[in-house]
Amino acid sequence: MKASIALTAAAALAAKASAACFAERLGYPCCSGNEVVYTDNDGKWGVENGNWCGIADAPAQATCWSFSQGYPCCSSSNAEVWYTDASGKWGVENGDWCGIPTGSTGGSTGGGNVTPSNEQYTISGNPFKGVEFYINPYYVEEVDGAIAQMTDSSLIAKAEKMKTYSNAIWLDTIKNMQSWLESNLQGAQTQHQSSGKDILTVFVVYDLPGRDCHALASNGELLANDGDLARYKSEYIDVIEGHLKTYKSQPVVLIVEPDSLANLVTNLESTPACADSEKYYLDGHAYLIQKLGVLPHVAMYLDIGHAFWLGWDDNREKAGKVYAKVISSGAPGNVRGFTDNVSNYTPWEDPTLSRGPDTEWNPCPDEKRYLEAISKDFKSAGIKSVYFVSDSSRNGKKVDRKHPGEWCNQTGVGVGARPQASPVSGMDYLDAFYWIKPLGESDGTSDESAARFDGYCGHETAMKPAPEAGQWFQKHFEQGIKNANPPL
Least confident of 8-17, 347-356, 365-374: 8-17
Question: Tell me, what's the pLDDT at 22?
Answer: 66
On the question of pLDDT at 218 being above 80, the answer is no
Q: Name which of 27, 33, 26 is nearest 57 in CA terms.
A: 33
Pairing of strands 337-340, 298-303: parallel
Pairing of strands 83-84, 51-54: unpaired
443 given a catalytic annotation = yes
List C-alpha distances in Å: 34 to 46, 133, 198, 256: 7, 21, 21, 39
pLDDT, tens digit (0-9, with 9 covering 90-100), for 11-59: 333 333 333 466 665 667 777 777 777 776 667 877 777 677 777 643 3
Q: Read off the pLDDT of each residue in 258-282 and give the average, rounded to a whole number.
A: 96
pLDDT, tens digit (0-9, with 9 covering 90-100), for 389-435: 999 999 999 999 988 889 999 999 999 999 999 999 999 999 999 99
Task: Report which of residues 218 and 467 the model is more confident about.
Answer: 467
On the question of pLDDT at 61 being above 80, the answer is no
259 given a catalytic annotation = yes
**What's the pTM?**
0.78
Question: Tell me, what's the pLDDT at 131?
Answer: 97
Q: DSSP string of 40-99?
A: ETTEEEEEETTEEEE-TTPPP-SS-GGGGGT-PBPS-TTPPP-EE-SS-EEEEETTEEEE
On the question of pLDDT at 281 being above 80, the answer is yes
List C-alpha distances in Å: 156 to 38, 40, 160, 342, 396: 18, 19, 6, 26, 19
Q: Read off the pLDDT of each residue in 286-314 and give the average, rounded to a whole number.
A: 98
Cβ(104)–Cβ(77) under 8 Å? yes
Q: Of these residues, 212, 377, 391, 431, which one is catalytic?
A: 212
Q: Read off the pLDDT of each residue in 214-224 and give the average, rounded to a whole number.
A: 81
Q: Name which of 260, 362, 264 is nearest 311 in CA terms.
A: 362
Question: Tell me, what's the pLDDT at 16?
Answer: 34
On the question of pLDDT at 5 being above 60, the answer is no
198 given a catalytic annotation = no
Q: Spell out the SS3 assignment of 124-149.
A: CCCCCCCCEECCCHHHHHHHHHHHCC
Question: Tell me, what's the pLDDT at 31?
Answer: 76
For 244, which DSSP code?
H
Question: Tell me, what's the pLDDT at 41?
Answer: 64
3-class DSSP state for residue 478? helix
On the question of pLDDT at 80 being above 80, the answer is no
Q: Of these residues, 207, 350, 443, 454, which one is catalytic?
A: 443
Q: Of these residues, 259, 303, 366, 377, which one is catalytic?
A: 259
Given its phi and psi angles, is residue 476 left (phi above 0), alpha (psi -120 to 50 degrees) or beta? alpha
Q: Name which of 7, 41, 190 is nearest 116 in CA terms.
A: 190
